[in-house]
Chain A
């Protein structure tokens, strides 16, 4: 039986980033991964590093985490394919243009560089967008990474600092400092960190819902798109917590390939791609960028975001969420919805700060899992 300081369950980008942070701080870390590191939502996601301002806490975390990414840039291997391409939030009409100005003010107040683009500047920046759009907001310091390689980078750094990867057998039990794997291996640790994304099988009471998404990748068309492009309507659709929605969201990869998204569906556990919503998603994309229709689409896939009711992640002790019997050993780092790649290194810092009683750069309070405990009690 292995005795460790922390067992991390899940080697997605968030689990790997935490493994790195905790190992570098000197803790003995084990990472349990049933399949392959980074093969879940990490592989399914776009890898957009983006400052999101839908709540003050989200703005603080995404801004902080993006700054941790830029700290790491010099160390990232080429395989991570970091590109500081920036984001353009595309406004279709004057109503959305008003939102551009609003976002621009929020960014300025938070110290996030952003500039408003008029229709001519927008079409100069992205000639393949259709004409007649109202403008956009350019956030130049946003970027793009290839998430599985980023997860692998975090994991390799952790391993070099002494962490151990236990791959090939999933955790089937985790409680009171004890983890058991499907192959019978037992691990003990002072702390167990659940970093399993939307997989809540080890702690079914978590306030996390699976939110399915689809993405399409094209062959190589260098220069077809220059920035990550997201329609401002995305904010409306991403915020709608109940209905299925699609939004125009296109990303240029370093390879010249384009990722085309996005879709959001709640309570849909079918991992197959669905014709109807794919069609809607691509129709939306073609409405903004008609030329995409002729490009060669290589692969289509789905993934599951881990959504919380307030759209903020769970970072810290599981506390009262562990159920009737208090389990002080269980910690959480999950529920990042569509921002797991952006927030992974920042969340890892916040988590390590709590485990090591360090002071955090941003307020960790809004992300503490216990914020949902009171609500659970109401329903109990």
Chain B
């Protein structure tokens, strides 16, 4: 498993995240919702295994990515999916 930390940009702020973490875990640790639901509710990951799609986030410009299936990388830009 990778050691150390990487920096990601999460909803505009920079956050240090343990290397090897998933983006969903990083968002949970930072208290940021993964997405805003179609009626405006904040949502975070539910199933943790890529099935529920609740953890969709905007990652490096690509919309609707399942953040529980993506590992953080230095300089990654992550935003809550709206």
Q: Which residues in A have some Cβ–Cβ distance to B below 8 Å?
A: 219-221, 255, 294-296
Contacts and interface: CB of A to CB of B under 8 A. Distances in A.
B63 A296 contact: yes
Interface of B: 38, 62-64
Most A Cβ at <10 Å: residue of B38, B62, B63: B63
10 contacts: A219-B63, A219-B64, A220-B38, A220-B64, A221-B63, A255-B38, A294-B62, A295-B63, A296-B63, A296-B64
Contacts of B63: 219, 221, 295-296
Nearest to A218: B64
Given A219-B64, A294-B62, 8 more contacts: A219-B63, A220-B38, A220-B64, A221-B63, A255-B38, A295-B63, A296-B63, A296-B64
A294 B62 CA distance: 8
A168 to B, nearest CB: 31
A219 B63 CA distance: 9
A63 B62 CA distance: 41
B49 to A, nearest CB: 18
Nearest to B65: A296
A296 B64 CA distance: 8
Nearest to B62: A294
Per CB-CB distance, the 6 closest pairs between chain A and chain B, nearest first, are A219-B64, A296-B64, A221-B63, A294-B62, A219-B63, A296-B63
Nearest to B61: A294
Contacts of A220: 38, 64
A292 B1 CA distance: 36
Contacts of A221: 63
Contacts of B38: 220, 255
Contacts of B64: 219-220, 296
B1 to A, nearest CB: 30
Contacts of B62: 294
Contacts of A255: 38
Most B Cβ at <10 Å: residue of A294, A295, A296: A296
A296 to B, nearest CB: 5
A256 to B, nearest CB: 9
Contacts of A295: 63
Nearest to A295: B63
Contacts of A294: 62
Nearest to A296: B64
A221 B68 CA distance: 21
A220 B38 CA distance: 10
